[in-house]
Amino acid sequence: MPVGIFDSGLGGLTVYDRLSQRLPNISFCYLGDNLHAPYGVRSQDEIFELTCNGVEKLWSYGCDLVILACNTASAAALKRIQEEWLPTDKRVLGVFVPLIEVLTERRWADNSPPRPVKAERIALFATPATVASRAFQRELAYRAIGVDVESQPCAGLVDAIEDRDLILANAIARSHAEALLRRMPQPQAAVLGCTHYPFVKGVFQQALGEVPIYDQPNVVAESLADYLSRRPEWAGTQLNGKFLTTGEPASIATKATQFLGRRLIFEPCSL
């Protein structure tokens, strides 16, 4: 029983890479819905349907625990999945939750009243769909008071990263950072709310200066390690991992290998 990782494309490989390093005794099955990427420009209902299809496919491979390594899916679909759709013998976790826990310095299950936090001005860089969902602001408001979140929808950035056009991706990232700084000149923290964005983290850091930037691979890896230490029954058994794609396997494998710097072989998959 491997742990499933679902993403709309290749960005979730940044999460897989860190998870596989942090938890070397856990098997992972990665599914990228490259055929329908990017999710960031789709409607909430479309994202929900595609995400459910992807999660069900991973269940068919024995993945009773699935990580949504896609911020757009986590923001637009996770809450609805957990409240309306999820069977009791399955678990679906998202990448938003660990970030909220880090920024608020409290566990997700802590239902005490909202309280002040260190970073009161937060810059959020995310896809248009993630920004439109306002999921980050909503979950933060449940746990923190006095926090101002300035969101920047980073249109075009995922496409440029997936196309490996790093000159264009760097230019787009810089433009979005500068646009946000015009509205919030002095953020106290920044969040890269898309698993693709670590590839251009240096550009964001250069534009933002000494502002601490939180991206998700390390945060999610530590969070899952903690989760499995408390719930070892979801850790599964040691099996050979798989990489699945709804796109063209050879092309996706080439891009994925360029992303991670090591060879990956993808198998075809339909949703």
State the pLDDT at residue 252. 93
Query: Which element (helix H / strand E) includes 94?
Result: strand 91-94
Give the angle subtended at the CA of 124 by the CAs of 121 and 125, to the nearest 5°: 150
63: nearest Cα among 83, 89, 82: 89
State the pLDDT at residue 133. 85
- 3-94+217-268 and 98-215, same CATH topology: yes
Q: Domain residues of the chain, as ranges?
A: 3-94+217-268, 98-215
Contacts of 149 (CB under 8 A, 6+ apart): 122, 123, 124, 136, 137, 140
Answer CATH for 98-215 from 3.40.50.1860, 3.80.30.20, 3.40.50.720, 3.40.50.300: 3.40.50.1860
269 is catalytic: no
Residue type at 97 in one-letter notation: V
pLDDT tens digits for range 62-88: 999 999 998 888 888 998 999 999 999
The pTM of this model reads 0.84
Among candidate residues 63, 70, 154, 269, the one labeled active-site is 70
Mean model confidence pLDDT for the chain: 90
Secondary-structure class of domain 3-94+217-268 per CATH: alpha beta
Those residues of the chain that have pLDDT short of 70 are 236-240
Among candidate residues 29, 52, 154, 194, the one labeled active-site is 194
State the pLDDT at residue 239. 65
